[in-house]
Amino acid sequence: MKNKIIIFIGILLSFGAYAETDYIDMQIMELEQRRDALKNEIAECEKNTKGYKIAGISTIAATGIGVYGNIALHNEIKKIEQSKNGGGGFVGGGGGPQADTRPPEQKANDECQMFCADMPDDAIAMGCEC
């Protein structure tokens, strides 16, 4: 009878160990699945990162080309200005637009005369005397 009890206890322990081993295997499989899913996410992120790197390099290259073009344009303008001024460079003064110093009444009268000559109907509608 003792032998039967010992055999029965041995069988119970082996089933318990088998059930525990099965549970551990399930956990390992679940962890492997999570690991594979995370690897796939990382691979997707790496693809996006490569795209962003390419876009960044392209932007920097385009900026460099723009800067080079602006410098070349500035140098060309500088050459033209020097040739106009007799090679002396920019002297300054007198080159910009002149300030309008007419009184407001004179400005309005001059504008009316311009419209009266070209578009008399519109000038009368604006309040000009043609």
Structural domain spans, the chain: 101-130
Q: What number of other Cβ atoms are within 10 A of residue 123's Cβ?
A: 19
Per the confidence metrics, is the pTM higher than 0.85? no
Q: What number of other Cβ atoms are within 10 A of residue 16's Cβ?
A: 10
Q: Give the tens place of pLDDT for each residue, 44-67.
A: 888 878 778 888 899 999 999 999
* Burial label, 128 (beta-carbon count in 10 A; 0-12, 13-18, 19+): middle
Return d(Cα 59, Cα 63) in angstroms, integer: 6
Tokens found for residue 76: 């060309």
Q: Give the tens place of pLDDT for each residue, 76-117.
A: 999 998 888 765 545 555 555 677 787 877 777 777 777 677
Q: Give the tens place of pLDDT for each residue, 28-41.
A: 999 999 999 999 99
